[in-house]
Structure 1
């Protein structure tokens, strides 16, 4: 049948043509995706954890992937920083630590991050999968396959390495420093620090950011505020094996907590599992009371630290071996200088970095930690290099630092500064061992290096400054107990449970107190035992001691506190920490007012929990000593000082470390006093503190201070100072400044819409006392206060807060 021929021909073509096109597509795909050998034949191969190739011609890194869905750690960091403490982008700063894996989907490779906050630790795969699918995961980066041999592929890793992995642009934007972005044309890989090892692959890039600056901090450290370059480091790290056993977290243990929600937990058990962070450490002989470790913990000090700083940092960090000895280990903790061929960002090295910034700032200890278990893989300390200079400055203000020949500093200055560096080194290393702050240790005779110590300088019987006890030496009793909790090697799980409880019970028998950041660092904290930069168990007694020490040092302050040849105006920089020596103790004492004594106790059979207010007599003593810091005698400068210190010399100028002024730029004794007085009043009149005064009077009876009585006492004191210093113009002016600041604080309390109504009512009641019956015969001070209060009460919305000159930068006291 002839009519069937066209139909059959069409049918044949329908089958033949697709097959031909399919073959062509295969051939095209084969040509488009070369083998790895073909693609890399002109490249330099680097074997290691993940083999990679360096293409010098392209300036790219290609990664070879043959293991799929296999978890590893991805850590990003800054190899070279910006140098500004305010911005906080420091050399060798760690970034995020993530558990990730490579997943291939056709021509794409995804670097995917696991969500380990939510898990199901179960033998039932379906139960584990149900939780995994219930919560989002993240894809860090996507790549295109550029070469393939069997199941192994090659990807161009360069886009990840050239990205803003550290979140620099976002941080600058949050800090209102400007809008910046990565400039690809000015960025490149950094082959010198791109290396491979059996258990980790290290990559680095030099990243240039360009943009429009809106703050001043970038320009203060970068040659060009519109363009600056950092180096970003990326680490791919093999996860530890499963030989590590997590140790349970207890709020009394002194450790940082890691945790996750385990949805396979029985209903009668807590959903969230918590465990401590710590290094892996095991005894060679678990049965021995004292044994060498299977593998010691070794820290390496930055080669860039100069002497005598280097020796001080080594000595302080090595104190921790005392604690490990107390836990039954011999030579388990060592500190050495970083080898010449080692990179401080290599995860195989626990490091103590010596970091420079343009201004003083915090030091800190961080770590690379396995998110699955809390095992610390790498301890990473950053120590600010200006720390030693600030402590030197503190000591310089206390004695005639250059009194001998005018050029050689008293050796006690350097001794104090180095003593602080030893303590600082031990403190920050302690964080990288897993330990949290203990801000109650100062009440236990300096029982821990994990506190923030104020230099404990004393007066001898003959009135000389004694620096011998400025900082503690060696590890503390609390530190030994915490290392016991975290690192004691127990024979089995039952022995571990019993042993850990015995360590906590021993802490209680020893009277060791523990209060950490959430209950110490807020200025309005109600815990009087937890505080930064203080000494001793009696805050009132320590305040009185500091005020006497400060008084003696101010009376002796002279040109001999600076070297010959230095401008006299630089005396002000030495004067600042001396004049404000009591600033941290003001905060410590204030916590007694409306304070509560408590710890992190857990329910125990036969034991009644205690949550008691500070005794009323102690609260009144605290109020009295704080009011003493407002007296003109405490605020004034000796006459010789304001006659001695001129405005900043040409080429020097004012900076953030000096007092803020209102007189045009020279030393301003009245503005200094205003700042100091306002600091005390801000702590006396914190809304949350006043609310607790109301609360305690209501709950615990008439013996507790009332809000009316408390505020009456502050107002009466300031008014009395104005009246009792009429014959001394300087003292009179200081008293008036304090009274004015009190009224401004009361108005701000009365105007607040988000504080206790009782506190607002108390503030309004106090303001009535400043409303004169008549304006005739009023002093200028009385008239000013009358007008100020009347204006506010008539039209509260018209009041604009009047701020006192801010104090010079304070905490960190010695960074």
Structure 2
């Protein structure tokens, strides 16, 4: 269904509630009335449900009919689909939005087609290009419904909805088969309509789908922990069919990439001379002042969120406060009390999935911790129509059970934390390092989980917001209060900590429902020494935006603790709301654009810096998830030191008499994960560049790319050598290591670890290897090479030889400068092998690196070979480990160098 756009006013989409042009199609013939039954006969024994569409439900045979009036044909409506019940596992969770899209009813001969119009391509009405677009881009006809009857007076059409709403309209089947590991099929006899309601502007239909199957073979049936019998289960899908708002005064607002909003975009073919063929609107609510002349006014219709009655009582105040954080930003945009929060009654006569209500909902699962704040948007204009925030009940379980939710599951001996990292790729900035490690290890690639047809969140974990890593921040902070500040679990301080956490989480998700994207630069606002000064943080916040993933703020040893989580929206949040919601009295788009540009041109202000999901790479060390402060080198060092002291306290205080020794293992792993988190920030300074989104003229004398100083790069290397490659931080007492007992519960929902003992060498080596391969990945080495061209003549820069020399001196230092009775520990030998393997892989072309890196790797290996020759004379003959290690290294390096020469 082509949507035409008038050239004079590009922010107004014509006929928002109805399609503006009909595609070419065969003439619609009069239906063969001999095949139609009388209207009253078809609806006999049905219950009439009047609303946007009049529905007729026959509860005896399960059929549901809809009456479609002639003027309801060829009009655009919005369909939203929500998974109202799940199985609590493998991404099949209750409350997940599984799609929203525009649709229209089109009559073709004896059928009413259910059509999703193609709105991605538009043009001004009446132009010749209109005909070409109609022929070039197809609509999607999802179902043809036979006309069962035509009303004699109203001329309305009666169709049966069962073939549409009891079919796999959301596309669940391929997702179920992929995520659950078995083939499932719908069971017609177990599928039916549950709740059916109709209102003047929307229709709500709840379909129950029965599924059976699951066998992967006779010897390998599917096993789903959360089901009493894995061969059958039911899912409920809520369909909301609603009328699009018309003539409500909403004006689409053009987007600007200096500020982070979700956008609605289409390609405009009106003018082929345009350098920017895409028109991009920000997604936002229709807020209008009651008093347009007042500087600050209440809105005509505030944004109302309902706290679902499933939210635990102890968190309802925090949920309310977190949502209301945003009124501070809206007041600066001219609105007072733009957001209201109400409590859903325990005996409410409405359902949270009803599109007329914006809700904050809790859900339960057996294997997931996440929150998300999706919204439903008019795809023609970007107007937000509905939003439902989902929060996993497991967040609160983490709060109540301290750090116990971090118990190891499915641990792998060679890479015990890989499953956690890969399973949360959207939350952990380990992409390049993990990719290089996987490339070297030739790890098996997994097939992606199929997406649902309408861009759903189901089966697409990178769309989920916050997750297990957020819960880890809470858990480590909660443990910090207990072992570092001696706070009891029932203390007011621990309770206040939980409320701080929940307020920030809810504020973040509400921000998404207001149209805002992540801003992963916001956590770099304050200096490290300012983070624990309440006079500063209460005034400005811990971060410039609650749309970042901020970690728990733990004060360094000897410093008084400040705020753990932010207490307010930040400067960036206020600026973004100002851009999106400030009323602008403009008659044409360009006049509004001039006013918007004045707002956006403040982008170079440090606390307004913006970087979102696609900017989280290994380039900019200030753009990360779960980092904090504008000087991450200092802050990371504080947290690495904190972690080492926390290990000492764990050894001293755990386990409490009567508790399992598994408590020690869980706490130890929690701190190791925290240590891992801050170690991985350090490599990003090497070859790093700060990236700015501002435009030409915004900041004179500044360019989009600004290299990280050589001094900071060298400082980062020194910290890596001290905290990651050195064995000193990992000298744990034998008593502590011998306490690390695993949980041995074995039943549904609880899988024991495959190994009883704790693989301490493997865990440490994995941490070191990730950092090492991150330093040696192609992109970083290429940046180091390119940086020699990016700096002004005579200015210092870190080079590939500098990096390789630093690594070799750090990792092989005992060998390159040997002392008498040279002795290498198991940790050192393992790390040295990893370095040697990486260098050999480079010169043998087993990995892709810049050619300069290959030649320098060969140079370094030859130097190392000579050092090993000298060091061999310093080894005690009885130290077989060291002698064997050096002999092997000498032999492998020699063969690799010889193999390289032969290949050339």
SS, match of residue 515 in structure 1: coil
CA contact (8 A) 1:401 1:561 kept: no
Over residues 311-335 of structure 1, what are the superposed CA-to-partner deviations in whole Å (9 max), with x where a residue is unaligned? 2222111111111111111111112
Instruction: Show the counterpart of 2:389.
Output: 381
Counterpart in 1 of 2:727?
Answer: 632
**Which residue number corresponds to residue 81 of structure 2?**
76
Distance 2:513 2:101 in 1: 18
Q: 1:488 aligns with which of 582, 585, 588?
A: 582
Task: Work out which of the residue numbers 766, 772, 780 in structure 2 matches 1:689.
Answer: 780
Cα–Cα, structure 1 residues 165 and 617, in superposed 2: closer, same or farther, change >3 Å?
A: same
Does residue 1:57 correspond to 2:60, yes or no?
A: yes
Distance 1:30 1:134, change over 3 A: closer
Report Cα offsets for 1:496-554 as digits up to 9, x if no partner: 3343222223453464211111111x3xx312221110110011101111111112111
For 2:507 and 2:233, the matched residues in 1 are separated by 34
Superposed, 1:268-417 pairs within 5 Å as 268-339=274-345, 340-388=348-396, 389=398, 390=471, 391-400=473-482, 411-417=492-498
Residue 718 (structure 1) aligns with: 811
In the aligned structure 2, how far is the partner of 1:764 from the partner of 1:728?
29
Helix, strand or coil at the partner of 1:740: helix
**Residues 603, 698 of structure 2: 8 Å contact kept:** no
2:516 maps to 1:435: yes
Shift in CA distance, 721/128, structure 1 to aligned 2, threshold 3 Å: farther
Q: 1:261 Cα shift?
A: 0.6
Question: For the structure 1 residues 649 and 134, does the alpha-carbon distance in structure 2 shift closer, same or farther, using more than 3 Å as the test?
Answer: closer
Partners of 1:316 and 1:422 within 8 A in 2: yes
CA contact (8 A) 2:650 2:667 kept: no
Matched, 1:527 2:617: no
C-alpha deviation, 1:30, in angstroms:
4.6
Correspondence for 2:162: 158
Corresponding residue to 2:659 among 538, 550, 566: 566
Could you tell me how far apart the structure 2 residues matched to 1:769 and 1:507 are? Answer: 49
- Residues 450/89 of structure 1: CA separation in 2 closer, same or farther (3 Å cut): same
Query: SS of 1:254's equivalent?
Result: coil
Could you tell me which of 502, 505, 519 is aligned with 2:598?
A: 502
Q: 2:199 aligned with 1:102, yes or no?
A: no
State the TM-score, normalizing by the size of structure 1. Answer: 0.85
Q: 1:789-812: CA deviations, max 9, x gaps?
A: 56767789xxxxxxxxxxxxxxxx
Separation in 1, partners of 2:481, 2:735: 16
What's the counterpart of residue 205 of structure 1?
A: 207
Q: Is 754-763 or 358-367 further displaced after alignment?
A: 754-763
User: For 1:206 and 1:795, how far apart are their aligned partners in 2?
Assistant: 65
Q: Which moved more, 1:585-594 or 1:152-161?
A: 585-594
Shift of 1:673: 1.2
Uncovered stretches (5+) of structure 2, i.e. residues with no partner? 1-28, 399-470, 527-542
Quick check: 718-727 or 776-785, which moved more?
Answer: 718-727
Q: Work out which of the residue numbers 883, 892, 895 in structure 2 matches 1:779.
A: 883
The Cα of 1:742 is off from its aligned counterpart by 2.3
Which is further off, 337-346 or 779-788? 779-788
Bigger drift between 266-275 and 303-312 goes to 266-275
Corresponding residue of 1:20 = none
Which runs of no fewer than 5 residues in structure 1 stay unpaired?
1-25, 797-815
Mean Cα displacement is larger for which, 476-485 or 172-181? 172-181
Flag the structure with more relative contact order, 1 or 2, with Cα contacts below 8 A and sequence separation at least 6: 2
Shift of 1:559: 6.9
**Relative to 1, partners in 2 of residues 1:458 and 1:509: Cα closer, same or farther, differing over 3 Å?**
closer
Alignment of 1:37-52 (within 5 A): 37-52=40-55
Which whole-Å deviations, capped at 9, do the CAs of 1:67-125 have from their partners, x for residues lacking one?
211111112221112323xx3232111122211111111221110111111110x2416
Structure 2 CA distance for aligned equivalents of residues 190 and 172 of structure 1: 22
**Structure 2 Cα separation of the partners of residues 259 and 106 of structure 1:** 34
Q: Match for residue 564 of structure 2?
A: 470
Larger radius of gyration: 1
CA RMSD of aligned residues (A): 3.3
For the residues of structure 2 that align with 1:560 and 1:65, how far apart are their CA atoms?
A: 70
Residue 213 of structure 1 and its aligned partner are, at CA, apart by 5.5
- Inter-CA distance 128–569: structure 2 relative to 1 (3 Å threshold): same
Q: Distance in 1 between matches of 2:738 and 2:272?
A: 75
Q: Distance in 2 between matches of 1:298 and 1:32?
A: 49
| Match of residue 640, structure 2, among 536, 547, 550 | 547
Aligned partner of 1:226 in structure 2 is 231
Deviation track 1:24-53 (CA, whole Å, cap 9, x = no partner) reads xx9x96564112221112011111111111
- Tell me the matched-pair count: 754
Q: Find the counterpart in structure 2 of residue 137 from structure 1.
A: 139
Q: Cα gap change, 1:566/1:153 in structure 2, threshold over 3 Å: closer, same or farther?
A: farther
Give distance in 2, aligned partners of 1:234 and 1:450. Answer: 30
Once the two structures are TM-superposed, the CA of residue 377 in structure 1 deviates from its matched residue by 0.6
Task: Tell me by how many angstroms 1:148 deviates.
Answer: 2.1
Offset, 1:129: 4.1
C-alpha distance 724-620 of structure 1, shift in aligned 2 (>3 A): same
Counterpart residue number, 1:257: 263
**Contact 2:82-2:237 within 8 A present in 1 as well:** yes
Residue of structure 2 in register with 1:677 after alignment:
768
| CA distance in structure 2 between the partners assigned to 1:724 and 1:400 by the alignment | 44
The 2-side partners of 1:781 and 1:81 are apart by 54
Classify 1:607/1:647 alpha carbon distance in 2 versus 1 (closer, same or farther; 3 Å): closer
Q: CA deviation at 1:426?
A: 0.5
- The residue correspondences of 1:730-809 to structure 2 (distance < 5 A) are 732-750=825-843, 751-752=845-846, 754-768=848-862, 771=865, 779-786=883-890, 789=893
Q: Give the secondary structure class of the aligned counterpart of 2:610.
A: coil
Secondary structure, aligned partner of 1:183? strand
